[in-house]
A and B are shown apart, each in its own frame.
Chain A
Amino acid sequence: MTTATATAPSATQTPPKKKGGRLLKVVAFLAVTTGIAYAAAAVFNVHSTTFVAPTVNELFQFRPIFTVGGLEVTFPTLVMFGVTLLLIVFFLRAFSRPKLVPTGLQNVAEAGILDFIRDQIAISVIGPEGASWMPFLTAIFFWVFLNNFMSLFPIIQFPVTSRMAYPATLAITVWLVYNGVGIKEQGFFKYFKGIMFPPGVPKFIYILLSPIEFFSTVIVRPITLSVRLFANMVAGHLILGVLFIGTSVFIAGGPLGKVGWVAPFGLAAGFIMPLELFVIFMQAFIFTILTAVYISGALHPEH
């Protein structure tokens, strides 16, 4: 009797739908169609070889649109100025008439700056005096993030930071700032002594350690900082370019190519785009946090 009442409700309930089942069907369908297309291509000796992967020159070279005083203005430059203007307008609108209880744009800006830049990066890396570095870090983070984000922005779809000049300029600025801060806070000789002769090391190790430390702090840091951002954006743009150009080529191509290649290329593009969004955010975050780390190292010498 008791067992019957216990089993009765479960029997009347409809079995819960499996969410993974539909995805599995789609994947299986794609696998089968791809296999059939490959087999047909092998049997009938038909190749969809019209697709040529785009080279770096094709994807990253731009003809100058116009020249201003001998300086050639290209598409990325225009996008960069647009982004900068957008940022200036955004922050002016958000903070021109600050209210105690924020509304609208001010709300968004405060959430982004206070909760994220100040608490996550400035205070937690630099320390209590990090609050005064917040404007610098905020400007770097939002500038890098928006310029990276142009990689996915419709119509533009080109990451401005994948041209080496922009990350290099940023890295040089950061280099000047943290070295300047270190020299200002500690004095010229004390700052370089702190870099080259870290305490707590046996004397004879300094012969080996001092050049390496100097090299890594003064020369390698700006290079890695800029190359990291640049290479990440180039790689992301290359992958997206290959996938999207491949998809469009195969859509325009013959029926075999349509069946076998459009689905994998398009699907991969769909999967890569969220990943690229993550990379875009991550690189802006890493650039900002490393800037904070370098400034913190210049402010607080090792004891």
Chain B
Amino acid sequence: MAFLAALVTFLAQATSISTKGIGQGLVYGLAAIGPGIGIGIIFGKAIEAVARQPEARGQVQQLMFIGFALAEALALFGFVLFFIVK
């Protein structure tokens, strides 16, 4: 946390953007890392599964979209926090 705070103040001094703006940007950027990796894994594995067993495409797709939606929700929380952060 101390590192983050130092980073925010440094960036705010280096650029002309307010600390609030940089904090908002960081919130979304940090929140998008995990879901990004997760969604990549989900779609990659789904493609692998369909390539191995093309007849299971329908089922795999459905599960893929459920997993995708659950992982994506975290990134969207970050997006909402972007507006809430003061």
Contacts and interface: CB of A to CB of B under 8 A. Distances in A.
Interface of A: 56, 120, 124-125, 224, 227-228, 230-232, 234-235, 282, 285-286, 289-290, 293
5 contacts: A227-B77, A227-B80, A285-B65, A286-B69, A290-B66
A231 B65 contact: no
B73 A289 contact: no
A282 B68 CA distance: 11
The 9 closest A-B pairs by CB, nearest first: A231-B76, A286-B69, A224-B73, A228-B73, A231-B79, A231-B80, A228-B76, A227-B76, A286-B65
Nearest to A231: B76
Contacts of A56: 83
A120 B62 CA distance: 8
Contacts of A289: 62, 65-66, 69
B16 interface: no
Interface SS majority for chain B = helix
Interface of B: 58-59, 62, 65-66, 68-70, 72-73, 76-77, 79-80, 83
Contacts of A235: 76, 79
Given A231-B79, A232-B76, A235-B79, A290 B58 contact: no
A174 to B, nearest CB: 14
A282 B72 CA distance: 12
A285 B68 CA distance: 12
Nearest to A286: B69
A290 B69 contact: yes
Contacts of A228: 69, 72-73, 76
A215 B58 CA distance: 31
A227 B81 CA distance: 11
B73 A293 contact: no
A293 B76 contact: no
Contacts of B73: 224, 227-228
A227 B70 CA distance: 11
A226 to B, nearest CB: 10
A227 B73 CA distance: 8
B46 to A, nearest CB: 15
Given A224-B70, A293-B66, 7 more contacts: A120-B58, A228-B76, A231-B76, A231-B77, A235-B76, A235-B79, A285-B65
Nearest to B65: A286
B79 A125 contact: no
A124 B62 contact: yes
Contacts of B68: 286
A67 to B, nearest CB: 27
A120 B80 CA distance: 31
B66, B69, B70: which has the most chain A beta carbons within 10 Å?
B69
A232 B80 CA distance: 10
A102 B76 CA distance: 42
Contacts of A286: 65-66, 68-69
Contacts of A232: 76
